Amino acid sequence: MKTWLSLVVAFAMVLTVAVAGAQTPAPTPAPTPYGAPINLEQAKKVVAGAEAEAKKNGWPVAIVVLDPGGQMVMMQRLDNTQWGSIDIAKEKARSAVALRRPTKVLQDGIAQGGVNLRFLSTGFSVLEGGIPIVHEGKIIGSIGVSGVTSQQDAQTAQAGIDALTK
């Protein structure tokens, strides 16, 4: 009986260790590193791509491109865009480059509620439309767009990034 009990206890311990090991989360990948700052020619391509997308859809938007340090490289406001969108676009771009992730991640976190509501007090934009610009595996800047819905802003920003690789 003692042998049987010892076997059961040993099996339970092995099973506990195996389950605990299986529940260890995978390591978080390292964040994308910052690279050399976006240059003016690259920024012009990004803005032109975003502008083309906005004009194609009839969207009055402000487009801001920042370098990895959060400094403005280029800003363009399309006709009939409310002037408040300039600051919002800049904040979206600043948040994306500072946090090395699209601002949609923050917006989605807020939508989930709970502890994610802490993002509201960080001073970063929690609206979709800010995206880091990654070139050759490094963040060279960011783009922020504002003027229409957040989803449309992000679509416009992504079109700008896509234009950089064409």
Would you say 44 and 126 are in contact if contact means Cβ atoms under 8 Å apart? no
The separation between the first and the last C-alpha atoms of the chain, rounded to the nearest angstrom, is 75
What is the separation of C-alpha 1 from the centre of its chain, rounded to a whole number of angstroms?
61
Question: What tens digit of pLDDT does each residue of 84-116 get?
Answer: 999 999 999 999 999 999 999 999 999 999 998
**Could you give the count of Cα atoms lying within 13 Å of 66 in the half-sphere of its Cβ?**
25
Name which CATH class applies to 40-164: alpha beta
- Concatenate the DSSP letters of all residues of 49-102 into one string: HHHHHHHHHT---EEEEE-TTS-EEEEEE-TT--THHHHHHHHHHHHHHHHTS-
Please state the pTM of the whole predicted model. 0.83
Q: What is the pLDDT of residues 40-70, one digit of tens each?
A: 999 999 999 999 999 999 999 999 999 999 9
